[in-house]
Amino acid sequence: MSKIVVVDDSKLMRNLIQHILEQAGHEVDAWAEVTAMEVADRILASDPDLVVTDYQMPGCNGLTLARMARKAKPGLPIEVIQEFDNWRRIRDSEGSEGWVLHSLLSGRRTALVAPWRKNEEFPLRATASADAPIKARLQSGVIGTLKSCTGTWCRLAGEGFDGWIEQQSVWGAYPGEKLE
């Protein structure tokens, strides 16, 4: 189940999208409209996995809202699964999918530490070896930048950490993928 924010100035569309998403098992927070100044605070307070927005709205159009949402929650890893012109179909770690403008994607490779294993810790090692000293323990859901992957280990760095984690413990690198 994903937490999804729906933003649309049309009550009919907002309610319809909310109903469809709730029937699919998602938790939905529907907003009538927001100003550009409110977006970051509301996104941070709501902490959604996905934002679905209308484009043409008074106060703040959908593109501005998407850019502000991206600034509020930077670095979330996504998988690009399809491309069409300037659009990319993306999937998040929970399987939610949607289309975004390619200019909203950073191109920086990021990963989540085992989001499927809530409230667990995973060792971050000094080198790519199970025998290497543990530098830190990362909780599930921690976001980091993928620096490289060997096919079995990934070097993951973030605010206050940099080390090696088993590749099977991250979402953002495919099994066996090598990254330079």
Of the candidate ranges 41-55, 118-132, 140-154, the one whose mean pLDDT is the lowest:
41-55
What is the structure's pLDDT at 179?
Answer: 92
Average pLDDT over residues 35-57: 76
Q: 21 and 100 share a domain?
A: yes
The last residue of one of the domains, among 55, 83, 107, is 107
What is the structure's pLDDT at 74?
Answer: 66
Q: 20 and 94 share a domain?
A: yes
Q: Is the pLDDT of residue 135 over 90?
A: yes
Can you give the C-alpha Rg of the chain in angstroms?
Answer: 18
Pairwise pLDDT comparison (51 vs 129), residue with the higher score = 129
The last residue of one of the domains, among 107, 134, 157, is 107
Q: 23 and 89 share a domain?
A: yes
180 with 149: CB under 8 angstroms?
Answer: no
CA triple 31-46-76, angle to 5 deg = 115
Q: 45 and 81 share a domain?
A: yes
Residue whose C-alpha is closest to residue 51's, from 116, 143, 60: 60
For the whole model, what pTM was predicted? 0.64
Q: 100 and 149 share a domain?
A: no
Q: 62 and 120 share a domain?
A: no
Q: 95 and 79 share a domain?
A: yes
Structural domain for 70, as ranges: 3-107
Q: 22 and 80 share a domain?
A: yes
